[in-house]
């Protein structure tokens, strides 16, 4: 915990850019300006925000915890959910992949951002996967498939379908080795352009190490460190750039 606070303070101190000012190249500037920061006209549908608020209050037991406690403690916040929504809406992917469905909150934002393309989400816990499947039905996200099972096994089944332009959200096992393995496997499927989002990049020393290592790989052109999330913009024609941003 103390380590995370120190990392947070470091991030606040060393972040360089506010609202995209001073960022090059233009592609990265436009991503930061138009997508990371909420610009007028990119508001989230009211039903999604309401659904999220209702989940906070939901006392249904899922395993040892209530839905509300899981959603408050382990799901994306509305702010970061909205960012996921804006990313899929901006990127217009051919497919969306999510590792770690939880109760389906992030799935709901990713899917609403660009409905109509397949979204495959993997969750290892049966009860959570079942709850998430109901949630996406309530949001009328027919394109979403929740895959219940161990990530390594399910990823092996789904990866051959991952093609073209995709958005991948990695929010499952928050430790070094599996994170590196998942991101590497996804990266190998990237064509000319893709987006990989890693959640909780300073959750632990292991996650921070994984993030540092991933952004040093030659295949990673642009990386954006928002402290709570790390975004990798993959495009073959971009030079390497790394920015730390207070969102």
The residues that touch ligand SAM, with contacts defined as CB under 6 A, are 74-76, 100, 102, 105-106, 122-125, 128, 150-151, 171-173
> Which lies closer to ligand SAM via its Cβ, residue 169 or residue 243?
169
> Which lies closer to ligand SAM via its Cβ, residue 150 or residue 163?
150
Are 224 and 247 contacting, i.e. CB atoms less than 8 angstroms apart?
A: no
CB of 15 to ligand SAM, least distance (A): 23
CA angle at 18 for the pair 48 and 210, rounded to the nearest 5°: 75
CB of 68 to ligand SAM, least distance (A): 13
What residues contact residue 56 under an 8 Å CB cut-off, 6+ apart? Answer: 68, 71, 72
Residue 243: is it exposed, middle or buried by C-beta count within 10 angstroms (0-12/13-18/19+)? buried
Largest CA distance in the chain: 49
> Which lies closer to ligand SAM via its Cβ, residue 151 or residue 168?
151
Are 75 and 102 contacting, i.e. CB atoms less than 8 angstroms apart?
A: yes
> Which lies closer to ligand SAM via its Cβ, residue 20 or residue 100?
100
CB of 231 to ligand SAM, least distance (A): 15
CB of 229 to ligand SAM, least distance (A): 11
> Which lies closer to ligand SAM via its Cβ, residue 72 or residue 92?
72
Residue 41 main-chain phi, psi, to 5 deg: 95, 0
> Which lies closer to ligand SAM via its Cβ, residue 42 or residue 74?
74
CB of 81 to ligand SAM, least distance (A): 7
How far is the C-alpha of 80 from the C-alpha of 85, rounded, in Å?
A: 9
Q: Which two tokens stand for residue 187?
A: 């990266």
> Which lies closer to ligand SAM via its Cβ, residue 20 or residue 102?
102
How far is the C-alpha of 31 from the C-alpha of 37, rounded, in Å?
A: 9
Prior bond of 25 cis (ω within 30°): yes
How far is the C-alpha of 244 from the C-alpha of 247, rounded, in Å?
A: 9
CB of 8 to ligand SAM, least distance (A): 19
CB of 129 to ligand SAM, least distance (A): 8
């Amino acid at each position: 915990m103390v380590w995370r606070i120190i990392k947070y303070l470091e991030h606040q101190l060393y972040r360089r850019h506010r609202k995209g000012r001073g960022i090059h190249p233009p592609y990265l500037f436009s991503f930061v300006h138009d997508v990371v920061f909420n610009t007028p006209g990119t508001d989230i549908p009211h039903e999604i925000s309401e659904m999220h608020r209702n989940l906070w209050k939901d006392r249904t037991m899922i395993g040892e915890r209530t839905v509300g406690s899981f959603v408050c403690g382990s799901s994306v916040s509305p702010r970061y959910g909205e960012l996921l929504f804006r990313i899929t809406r901006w990127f217009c992917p051919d497919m969306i992949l999510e590792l770690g469905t939880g109760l389906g909150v992030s799935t709901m934002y990713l899917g609403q951002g660009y409905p109509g393309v397949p979204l495959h989400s993997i969750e290892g816990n049966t009860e959570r996967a079942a709850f998430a499947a109901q949630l996406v039905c309530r949001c009328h996200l027919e394109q979403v498939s929740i895959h219940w099972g161990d990530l390594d096994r399910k990823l092996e089944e789904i990866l051959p379908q991952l093609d073209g332009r995709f958005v991948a959200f990695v929010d499952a096992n928050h430790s070094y080795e599996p994170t590196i393995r998942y991101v590497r496997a996804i990266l190998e499927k990237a064509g000319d352009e893709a987006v990989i989002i890693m959640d909780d990049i300073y959750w632990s020393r292991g996650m921070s190490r994984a993030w540092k290592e991933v952004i040093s790989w030659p295949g990673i052109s642009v990386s954006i460190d928002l402290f709570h999330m790390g975004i990798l913009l993959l495009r073959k024609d971009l030079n390497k750039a790394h920015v730390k941003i207070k969102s």
